[in-house]
């Protein structure tokens, strides 16, 4: 029997015992044979690749930069958990960035992260969010009126980078707009 199958069986037995809540049924649960058990893909996404993908342990694993001297870690908004990176905090002429070197699994075809934009009026023309891959511009996010007020998934299709290590960087510039807040959270790989 493979070690992964034994591990999966132990996890399922523990869950069954917890759900049953009775020592009398422990022997029944221990004798039950599980043939197929799989851990969720989300679990695998967070194990491989990104360090601290949801900013729940501060900025560990990330290289951050801000021309306004703040840490970017915020609990003002979060896709999951309690924290996110606050690239835009309502400051005028703000320039911030987060970056991380990541190894792409062979089974990944891209990267996904979530962003939240809070803008009171319209989308300013001087707002800029750029995604860089190995210091080359990959994607320029352009604000659309319907993007405000909800977490939106952003997919980066990078199948040519399978099995490689690359530098991912998000750089934000607020321009002259003082009322723009931008948060990013929950970086993961898109798996085949």
Highest mean pLDDT among 96-105, 120-129, 169-178: 96-105
Residues 31, 87 within the same domain: no
For residue 95, the model assigns a pLDDT of 92
Q: Are residues 4 and 49 in the same domain?
A: no
Q: What angle (nearest 5°) sits at the alpha carbon of residue 75, between those of residues 58 and 47?
A: 45
> What's the pLDDT band for 14 if we cut at 50, 70, 90?
low
- How many domains, in total, are found in the chain? 2
Same structural domain, 84 and 23: no
Please state, in angstroms and rounded to a whole number, the distance separating the CA atoms of residues 174 and 88: 7
* Same domain membership, residue 78 and residue 24: no
On the CB side of 104, how many CA atoms lie within 13 Å of its CA?
24
Q: E strands along 29-147, which residues?
A: 63-66, 73-74, 84-89, 95-103, 108-118, 128-133, 136-141
Q: What is the mean pLDDT of residues 169-179?
A: 84
- Claim to verify: residue 23 and residue 83 sit in the same structural domain: no
Question: 24 and 113: one domain?
Answer: no
| Over residues 93-102, mean pLDDT | 94
Q: Are residues 103 and 81 in the same domain?
A: yes
The β-bridge partners of 185 are 114
How many Cα atoms within 13 Å fall on the side-chain side of residue 153? 9
Specify whether the CB–CB gap between 156 and 138 falls below 8 A: yes
CATH number at residue 77: 2.60.120.260
Same domain, 90 and 14: no
Q: Domain range spanning residue 29?
A: 1-38
Same domain, 88 and 109: yes
Q: Are residues 92 and 169 in the same domain?
A: yes
pLDDT (mean) for 175-183: 80
Say how far apart CA 99 and CA 168 lie, in whole Å: 5
Same domain, 24 and 94: no
Query: For residues 116 and 166, what is the distance between their CA atoms, to the nearest angstrom?
Result: 25
101 Cβ contact partners less than 8 Å away, ≥ 6 residues apart: 165, 166, 167, 168
Q: Are both 130 and 187 inside the same structural domain?
A: yes
């Amino acid at each position: 029997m493979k070690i992964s199958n034994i591990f999966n069986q132990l996890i399922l037995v523990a869950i069954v015992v917890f759900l049953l809540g009775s020592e009398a049924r422990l022997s029944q649960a221990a004798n039950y044979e599980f043939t197929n058990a799989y851990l969720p893909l989300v679990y695998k996404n967070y194990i491989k690749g990104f360090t601290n993908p949801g900013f729940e342990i501060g900025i560990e694993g990330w290289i951050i930069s801000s021309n306004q001297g703040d840490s970017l870690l915020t609990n003002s908004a979060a896709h999951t958990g309690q924290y996110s990176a606050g690239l835009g905090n309502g400051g005028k002429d703000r320039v911030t960035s987060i970056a991380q070197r990541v190894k792409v699994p062979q089974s990944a075809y891209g990267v996904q992260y979530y962003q939240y934009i809070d803008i009171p009026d319209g989308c300013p023309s001087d707002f800029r969010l750029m995604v860089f891959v190995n210091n080359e511009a990959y994607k320029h996010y352009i604000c659309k009126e319907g993007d405000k007020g909800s977490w939106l998934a952003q997919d980066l299709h990078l199948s040519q980078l399978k099995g490689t290590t690359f530098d991912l960087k998000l750089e934000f510039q607020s321009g002259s707009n003082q009322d723009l807040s931008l948060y990013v959270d929950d970086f993961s790989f898109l798996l085949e």
